[in-house]
A and B are shown apart, each in its own frame.
Chain A
């Protein structure tokens, strides 16, 4: 039993950061990510997860991912929106394609949006400012902020028109 505990501690020390990184990316919530990784190790301790002796890292990654997916599935649409999570089924969304499209989208926005529209877009989705804060910073009305963002989103939709589940 104590050897098992030592093994689990060893796995924890060697893998915790990487597992936490994956959980953070998926759940976009620090507390929940730590909770999910703790859950993985709790299941290791109680025996409901049994990694192979050789190279258990992959097993732990898959277990973490699956636990995170379970948590995401239980969220309501509103809760997903609160975390800016995609509403698409994760298993059907190739991450690399998403990453490439996201990068292309930012480049397109930067290169083609009118200056003020780009500024508003950047302040909202890069800096995470609220609309009131953007309006104050740029010395424009909140209505103008909405108009710029609506224009930005319309342009992006026209260009990329992503089809999602």
Chain B
């Protein structure tokens, strides 16, 4: 118990300790394990926050989109009502243009986490993905490097999801083993 308390104090204020003190503490396998658990705990909570923030952005985008659609609908109804009370021809084509312009102006906020690969070689795609997820890539077949794909990558999703997505392509067979993406 006492050692954990020292470790807890040390991790709260590492600047109060010397390098030697910290190295000595981390030379104990149990203390090192506890430290790595703390690092994982922080990472786990941070991941939750990121996913929540990303989800909130999507909700906000959806809400804005719906709100603008509704407003457009009310505007359209108001215009039609006004025009029906005015003598003369309705300028339908112009109205349609106005409405279509309104719709064109409504944009769903871009999803920052979506990356699109357009006709990119598998080697380029895997290099970028491996860098992002901090894993390495191995190609067992040289020809596989040059397979060209069109696909999207959700950077907020786990690597396994993207691997599954890529494997849905007929010519692609990749797996994750230890810290490597292995492309057959």
Using CB atoms and an 8 Å cutoff, list the residues of chain A in contact with chain B: 22, 26, 55, 57-59, 61-62, 64-65, 76-79, 81-82, 84-88, 90-96, 98-103, 105-106, 109, 121-122, 125-126, 130-131, 146-147, 149-150, 153-154, 156-157, 160-162, 164
When each residue 77-120 of chain B gets 1 if its CB lies under 8 Å from chain A and 0 otherwise, what string results?
A: 00000000000000000000000000000000000000000001
Q: CA of A121 to CA of B41 in the docked complex: distance in angstroms?
A: 9
A-B contact count (CB 8 A): 144
Within 8 A of A (CB), among B5-52: 5, 8, 10-12, 14-15, 17-19, 21-23, 26, 30, 32-45, 47-49
Q: CA of A131 to CA of B22 in the docked complex: distance in angstroms?
A: 19
The residues of A that contact B139 with a CB separation of less than 8 Å are none
The residues of A that contact B36 with a CB separation of less than 8 Å are 86-88, 162, 164
Whether the Cβ atoms of A157 and B37 lie closer than 8 Å is: yes
CB-contact partner of A102 in B8, B34, B47, under 8 A: B47
When each residue 119-136 of chain B gets 1 if its CB lies under 8 Å from chain A and 0 otherwise, what string results?
A: 010001001100111111
The residues of A that contact B172 with a CB separation of less than 8 Å are none
Q: CA of A160 to CA of B39 in the docked complex: distance in angstroms?
A: 14
Whether the Cβ atoms of B35 and A102 lie closer than 8 Å is: no
Residues A93 and B179 in contact in the complex (CB < 8 Å), given A131-B12, A149-B8, A150-B5: yes
Residues A125 and B159 in contact in the complex (CB < 8 Å), given A87-B26, A90-B134, A150-B1: no
Whether the Cβ atoms of B32 and A87 lie closer than 8 Å is: yes
The residues of B that contact A87 with a CB separation of less than 8 Å are 26, 32, 35-36
Whether the Cβ atoms of A95 and B159 lie closer than 8 Å is: yes
Whether the Cβ atoms of A94 and B178 lie closer than 8 Å is: yes
Interface size on B, residues (CB 8 A): 50
CB-contact partner of A77 in B5, B22, B42, B120, under 8 A: B22
Nearest CB of B to A164, in Å: 5
Q: CA of A92 to CA of B43 in the docked complex: distance in angstroms?
A: 18
Whether the Cβ atoms of A58 and B26 lie closer than 8 Å is: no
Whether the Cβ atoms of B41 and A55 lie closer than 8 Å is: no
Nearest CB of B to A14, in Å: 12
Whether the Cβ atoms of A93 and B134 lie closer than 8 Å is: yes
The residues of B that contact A126 with a CB separation of less than 8 Å are 42, 45, 49
Whether the Cβ atoms of A96 and B14 lie closer than 8 Å is: no
The residues of B that contact A100 with a CB separation of less than 8 Å are 158
Q: CA of A130 to CA of B36 in the docked complex: distance in angstroms?
A: 19
Whether the Cβ atoms of A76 and B41 lie closer than 8 Å is: no
The residues of B that contact A90 with a CB separation of less than 8 Å are 134
Residues A77 and B23 in contact in the complex (CB < 8 Å), given A82-B14, A106-B48, A150-B4: yes
Q: Is B160 an interface residue (CB 8 A)?
A: yes
The residues of A that contact B37 with a CB separation of less than 8 Å are 105, 153, 156-157, 160, 162
